[in-house]
Amino acid sequence: MDGRNQGREGPSWPSASPPGAGPAAERGWGERGWGNGPPPGEPVWPAPAQPPGQQPEPQPGPQPGYQPSGRPPPWQVPQPTGGAGPETLGPNTRCYLHPDRLAGAVCRSCGNPICSDCMVEAPVGWHCTRCVKRSSRKSPVVRYRPGTGGLPRMRQAPVTLTIIAVCVVLYLASTSDPTLLDQAAEWGVGIQQGQWWRLFTAIFFHVDILHITLDMVALLVIGRLVEPVLGPWRYLALFLVSGLGGSVAAYLLSPPIQPEVGASGAIFGLFGAYFVLARRAATDTTGILVLIAINLAFSFSVAGIAWQAHIGGLVTGVVVSAGLGLGRRRRHQVEIVADVAVVAFACLALGLLMTLPPGVANLNL
């Protein structure tokens, strides 16, 4: 064996060639390159001579399971799906986003080398930050689903926190100026005279500290569960339409001269929406059903509670949330148009009910 040629041409195997095979056979497996022939322990013998007119038998191809020195054979090297990055990493391969840093992995999406600051863990391998941002714009990830366990973070429910802040500020303002409560309460006679804003303003006002505490705690619990699923704009539309449904029910089913305030109708709408979302996710709905039953029992058993608004908000929330997302399997624009149509249809139906006189079906117990 010549030690001067070993590093350039690979190891030689004297015993791997038959007598008289020539110098090319003595060099054997190493010169043909990694993986292009059988491993060193298997000698290469010349094929026997074929009779005239007979085609030689096809030789077996490379063995896919053989990987010398831990390197995959050329036919198993994964090809990048895009970009111009290298297929493998070398000792001096640089990150394509940070040329001054060494790369530690290859992005599974674009095939470019990335450093540790650009690595985003994926189900298989790593993705670069640029591919992750591009994918998030195409298909945003829902970070919470009913029944997945745990609670979303408070920063995922900005609309809920904003509504709570507005209700607290208006409550403090109404304690210093009681006339605000009279001007904002749901009052059938005033609404019939054209004061339609009472249908919405009554949602954000409360009578006393116990009233606002119970409503805001319930809103915080159920709102942080529903808002991350629907998104801020759908969630806000659901809250307002459910509150409107509660006000319309109180307008029709309560005495015309009885003023009512509170966000409980909209909160019951969120209860109904969570039930619909849980059913859509094929998860257990026993907990939310028990919660709704307890609150309804409390509404009917305690005097001074507008149970009519609770029923109206619950029914409206179930109907609207069942319609939201019907176009989610189509294009994004179609989904938006479908959701807007659902909200508009609910508002139109409630507006038609407002053509009836107040207290037309007085069910006050």
Q: What angle do CA 181, 185, 191 make, to 5 degrees?
A: 140
Q: What is the DSSP string of 298-351?
A: HHHHSTT--HHHHHHHHHHHHHHHHHTTTTTTS-HHHHHHHHHHHHHHHHHHHH
**In terms of C-beta distances under 8 Å and separation of at least 24 residues, what long-range contacts does 148-154 make, across chains too?**
151/224, 151/225, 152/224, 152/225, 152/227, 152/228, 154/224
Angle, helices 307-323/332-353, rounded to nearest 10 degrees: 150
Structural element, H or E, at residue 105: strand 105-106
d(CA 99, CA 194): 68
Radius of gyration (C-alpha) of the chain in whole angstroms? 36
d(CA 246, CA 239): 11
Q: Return the residue matching tokens 């805001």.
A: 216
The residues, any chain, with a CB within 8 Å of residue 88's CB and separated by 6 or more, are 77, 106
- Catalytic positions, written as ranges: 264, 310
Bridge partners of residue 107, in order along the sequence: 126
Structural element, H or E, at residue 120: strand 120-121
d(CA 338, CA 324): 8
